[in-house]
């Protein structure tokens, strides 16, 4: 008789207490990864097994893509404990992966398979994939045109707004004349200046650049002026005592201290510029995501419209993320202070 039986423990309980290696490993498996794999596999099964009410295209390709994503999540669920720092990121976004797979499955089911959301107003995810596969060249050209217009307008607006903001916050005389003008122009939407831009600028492209620059520059100017004006005057007094001139005070005290406000203005200007960008590209542009939206809306090609909107959302989200990275690098000195 074993020691376990002599001690009052049956062999069955001894086996459970020790547990096989597989059971001991189960708690370390990423549970959200398994659930995400299940939801994405369900989306693949719905796409492949059920017939389409209306032909959308790319059905098999979408089923394969969702199936591959399900296998990726299954693999990540098994190896996640060994991924080091990346494991924390996966755990953080795990619920989103689950919900996204569930959303894709329900979206596919209610549009392509059951037809509850009718064509052409609602497109299934496989319809968007079909747009990306068949019209990727035009979309790529439109992204390039949009990037050029947005880059010229945003960075020129930010540069002018930043310089104007520093002047408004530093000089009382400049603020006396400039701040009322800024307060008058600021509340007016940039798109409301379209009639004036047609008269002032020689082409719709230059007018579009001005509208994007106006939308992005005004919040940067206002918040930069507020940041410079809020700097503690004691810093200036100490620097002047040590022999600093106005140039040193502006570039080494006023501007660094106002950077938190500047980045808030940059975030606001980014969103405002994208909102105006679509309107600006509808002013006779030959290419661009705004033009692409208008062109396909006229032909009721709403799958193309949704595909372009997703691209714009991803670009904007990526730029916001980039701004956060730059802000954290430049304002690293604030850690432990604010």
- Residue 20 has what pLDDT? 46
pLDDT above 50 for 310: yes
Tokens standing for residue 133: 């596969």
Residues with Cβ < 8 Å from 168, sequence gap 6 or more?
A: 174, 175, 178, 179, 182, 221, 224, 225, 228, 229
Tokens standing for residue 161: 């707004």
Nearest to 98 by CA among 39, 17, 31, 150: 39
pLDDT above 60 for 118: yes
Residues with Cβ < 8 Å from 198, sequence gap 6 or more?
A: 204, 207, 283
pTM of the model as a whole: 0.79
Residues with Cβ < 8 Å from 98, sequence gap 6 or more?
A: 32, 35, 36, 39
Could you tell me the domains of the chain?
20-123 (no CATH), 136-332 (1.10.3720.10)
- Residue 16 has what pLDDT? 41
Contact status, residue 145 vs residue 151, Cβ threshold 8 Å: no
Confidence of residue 7 (pLDDT cuts 50, 70, 90): very low
Q: How far apart are CA 175 and CA 182, in angstroms?
A: 10
Most confident segment among 19-28, 46-55, 200-209: 46-55
Contact status, residue 248 vs residue 239, Cβ threshold 8 Å: yes
**Tokens 């390039």 sit at which residue?**
144
State pLDDT tens for residues 188-236: 887 788 778 877 887 888 888 888 999 999 999 999 999 888 888 888 8
Contact status, residue 59 vs residue 47, Cβ threshold 8 Å: yes
Q: 20-34, 79-93, 274-288: lowest mean pLDDT where?
A: 20-34
State pLDDT tens for residues 133-147: 999 999 999 999 999
Confidence of residue 43 (pLDDT cuts 50, 70, 90): very high
């Amino acid at each position: 008789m074993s020691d376990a039986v002599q001690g009052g423990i049956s062999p069955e309980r001894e086996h459970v207490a020790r547990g096989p290696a597989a059971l001991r490993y189960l708690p370390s498996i990423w549970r959200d990864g398994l659930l995400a794999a299940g939801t994405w596999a369900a989306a693949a099964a719905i796409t492949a097994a059920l017939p389409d009410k209306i032909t959308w295209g790319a059905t098999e390709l979408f089923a394969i893509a969702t199936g591959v994503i399900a296998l990726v999540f299954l693999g990540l669920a098994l190896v996640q404990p060994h991924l080091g720092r990346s494991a924390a990121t996966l755990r953080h976004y795990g619920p989103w992966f689950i919900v996204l797979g569930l959303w894709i499955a329900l979206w596919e089911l209610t549009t392509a398979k059951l037809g509850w959301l009718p064509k052409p107003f609602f497109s299934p995810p496989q319809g968007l994939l079909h747009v990306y596969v068949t019209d990727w060249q035009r979309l790529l050209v439109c992204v390039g045109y949009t990037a050029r217009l947005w880059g010229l307008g945003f960075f020129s607006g930010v540069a002018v707004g930043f310089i104007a903001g520093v002047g408004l916050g530093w000089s009382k005389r400049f603020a006396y004349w400039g701040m009322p003008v800024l307060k008058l122009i600021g509340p007016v939407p940039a798109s409301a200046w379209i009639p004036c831009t047609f008269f002032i600028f020689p082409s719709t492209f230059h007018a579009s650049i001005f509208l994007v620059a106006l939308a992005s520059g005004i919040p940067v100017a206002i918040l930069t002026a507020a940041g410079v004006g809020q700097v503690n005057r004691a810093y200036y007094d100490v620097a002047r005592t040590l022999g600093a001139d106005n140039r040193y005070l502006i570039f080494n005290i006023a501007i660094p201290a106002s950077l938190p406000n500047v980045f808030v203005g940059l975030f606001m200007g980014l969103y405002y510029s994208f909102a105006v960008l679509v309107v600006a590209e509808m002013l006779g542009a030959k290419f661009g995501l705004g033009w692409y939206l208008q062109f396909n809306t006229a032909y009721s090609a709403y799958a193309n419209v949704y595909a372009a909107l997703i691209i714009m959302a991803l670009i904007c989200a990526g730029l916001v993320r980039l701004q956060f990275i730059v802000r954290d690098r430049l304002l690293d000195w604030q850690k432990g202070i604010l």
